[in-house]
A and B are shown apart, each in its own frame.
Chain A
Amino acid sequence: MRHMKLGLAFGTAMLAMAGTAAAEGELNIYNWGNYTNPDLIKKFEEQFKVKVTVTDYDSNDAALAKVRAGGHGFDIVVPSANYVRIWIDEGLLIETRPDQMENFKNVDERWVDVDWDPGRHYTVPWQWGTTGMIVDTSVYKGEINTSAIAFDPPAELVGKINVAPEMNDVMSMAIWYMGGEWCSDDRELLKKVRDKLVEAKPKWISMDYGVIEKFQSRDFAAALYWNGAALRSRKANPDVRFGYPKEGYPIFMDSVAVLKDAKNPENAKLFQNFIMDPENAALISAFANYANGIKGSEAFMPEDMKGAPEVDIAPEHQASGHFLTPCSPEVTELYTRVWTDLLK
C-alpha cells in the first residue's frame, strides 16, 4: 500500500501541475505537424501578451473530423485549399473578413480571389506549395518535368521511388497523366488510371512520408512529393532536383481560418492580421521552406530560399499547375475505390 500511496501522491501532484494554464489571453492553434515556426509564436506571444498553444494534426480529414465533432477547444485551424470550402459549407468558420484587416494590402493579388474563398472573407494565406517529382540526378539524368517518373519509371529509378500516401495528390497526377480532368467520373478513364497505378506500384519502393533523410542516405532516387521537402532534400543532397510534371501537378495552399466555436476569436483575428505582415510571413517560410503568398516577405527570407527553383516556379512550368477543387461525394467514392485497389 505504501507504494500505492506514493504513486498516487506523485500522480496527483502531476495532475495539479497540469491545471495551471494561463487563464487570460490564450490562443489555441490547430495546425499540421512540424509546420509552425516557434520563433513566430514567440514573437506573437511577446507582442500581444497571449499564451499560444500549438497542437498538431497529420491530415485534413483528421482535423475536420475532430473539429466537426465539437468540444475541441481550438481557435485556429489551417486547412488546405480544397478543404476550405468544406469547412465554410459546414458552417465551421467565422467570417472574419481578413480583406478588411490592416495588413491585407500585403497579400499577393494572385492569392486574393481564390476559388475556395473569393475575396478572402474567411482565410489568410499561410503557405503554398506544389506536388511534383523529386529526383536524384546522379541516378537519373533524363527529363524530370514529367509524371512518367512515377507512373512509367525509367529503368534507373525502378525500385527507388517513393510516392506520398496522399490520395488526392496521387490520383490527380495519375488522372492528368492519362489525359483526364480532375473530378472526372469517366469510367473508361478511371479504368486506365487504375491499371496504370497498379502496374506502376511494384516499381515503387514505398508510399511514405519523410523523404529528406532518405535522399541524403540515397535510399530513394525519386519521389512524388512536396516542393518544400525537395528544397530541404537538395540541401542534404546537392544532386537532388525538383521537377514540375508537364502533364499537370497539384498546387496546394494552406490557409488560416478562425473556428466558429473559438473561445478566443479576437486573438485569432489578431493572429490572422499578424501573419500578413511580410516580416512575420517570412518567419513561417523560413521554418518549413514553402512560399507564403505575402508580398515583400522575400526580403526577410533566408538566403537559400531566395530564388530557389523549388519555390519560384519557372514561367514555363506555371501553366501545368492546378488547384484541386473538392469533388462530389460520388466521385470521391470512385476515387477511394481505385485507391483501395491500389493499396490492397
Chain B
Amino acid sequence: MASARDFAESAERQDVRRRWALLSPALVIIFFAAVGPLFIMLVYSFLQKGDYGGVRWAFSTDGWFSVFFQRDIFDDTLSFADAHISILWRSVRLSLMTTLFTFLLGFPTAYFIATRPEKSRDIWLFLITIPFWTNLLIRTFAMQEVIRNEGVINTALLWLGIVDQPIQIMYTDKAILFGMLYVYLPLMVLPLYASLEKLDFRLVEAAYDLYATRFQVLRRVIMPLVKPGIIAGSILVFIPSLGAYVTPRVLGGGKNLMLGNLIELQFGQGRNWPLGAALSMTLLALVMVALLIYARQAQSRSLRHG
C-alpha cells in the first residue's frame, strides 16, 4: 500500500515538475520583457521629478498626490484634480461602450460563422481577420476616410438625400468610439467563435423541445455556455480600449484626452515622470478592479449553476 502511494506521489511530483518546465519559457520571457520592468515604474512613482523629464532619486509622494488632488494654481486651495478625474471617466465610459458595441456586433457575427458548414468556417474566420493584417495606424486612417465630412458615409447619405448637410463625426467622441469598435472587433469575435464553435447544439435542441423561444434559448442556454468566450472577448477589448492612445489622437482630433494620452503627456511635454508613473499605476489598478469584478461574476455564476 505504502509503496503504491509513494509511487503515486512521486509520479505527481514529476508531473508538476514537467508542467513548470512547460510553463517556464512563457514565464521567463514575460518576466523580463513585461512584468519585471513594471516594478521600476512603481519605484518611479515614489520619486521626485527630474527637471527635464526623468527622476531624481529622492523619495516623494508628489506624483501620487497630484493624481487625485491639486493645489489650485491661482489661489492655492486644495481640491480634487478634476481634469484627471474627467479624463479617467471619459476613458472608462468609452471603453465600456466599445466593449458593449463590439459584443452586440461580434456575437451575432461569431454565431453566424460558427453555424456555417464546417468547411467554410475557416474562410469566414479568415475574412474577419483580413482587415486586421494591416496595422493600427493604417486602419485608423482608413476609418478616417469613411467618417470624415467628405467621406464615404456622408457622401452616401447626401446622395441618398437622407441628410442635406454632412454629419460631423470626425473629432468627436463618436469618432473615437467608431475607431475603437473597428479596431478591436476581431478581439471580440475570435474568442467568441472559439467558444461557439464547440457549442453542443443538442442542448439547444433540447431547449426547443422544452418550448423555449429563440430568445430564451439564446439568453438561457447559449449565452451561459459560451460565457468563457464572452469574458475573454470583453477583457481583450476593454483593456486595450482603456489605455488607447493612437485612436483618440487621430480620430478624436486630440482635443479630448484619454488616459493613455494623459500618461504620454506626462512622460513627454509635461516632463513629470513620477506623475506619469502614478497615473499608470492608477490605470493598472482600474484594470485590476475590472478583472476582479469579472472573476467574481464568473465564480458566482458557476456556483449557482454547479
Contact = CB atoms under 8 A, between A and B. Distances in A.
A–B proximity contact (CB within 8 A): yes
Interface of A: 59, 61-62, 64-65, 68, 86, 90, 162, 165-168, 187-188, 190-191, 201, 204-208, 217, 219, 326, 329, 332-334, 336-341, 343-344
B265 interface: yes
Contact of A336 (B84, B148, B269): B269
Interface of B: 49, 51-54, 70, 73-74, 82-84, 86-87, 148-150, 170-171, 249-250, 253-257, 261-262, 265-272
Contacts, number: 101
Contacts of A86: 52
A338 B254 contact: no
Nearest to A332: B271
Main secondary structure of the interface of A (DSSP, over half): helix
Main secondary structure of the interface of B (DSSP, over half): loop
B74 A59 contact: no
A343 B74 contact: no
Contacts of A208: 171, 249-250, 253-254
A62 B86 contact: no
A191 B52 contact: no
14 contacts: A59-B269, A61-B53, A206-B254, A207-B254, A207-B255, A208-B171, A329-B51, A333-B272, A337-B70, A340-B262, A343-B254, A343-B265, A344-B86, A344-B257
Nearest to B268: A61
A165 B86 contact: no
A162 B49 CA distance: 32
Nearest to A65: B53
Nearest to A336: B270
B269 A187 contact: no
Closest A-B pairs by Cβ, 9 of them: A206-B253, A344-B83, A207-B254, A61-B268, A336-B270, A206-B171, A165-B254, A329-B51, A343-B257
Contacts of B73: 187, 190-191, 334, 337-338
A341 B261 CA distance: 14
A204 B270 CA distance: 22
Contacts of A201: 255
A296 B20 CA distance: 70
A2 to B, nearest CB: 18
Contacts of B86: 344
A191 B74 contact: yes
Contacts of A340: 83-84, 257, 262, 265, 270
A166 B51 CA distance: 19
Most buried by B among A68, A168, A201, A208: A208
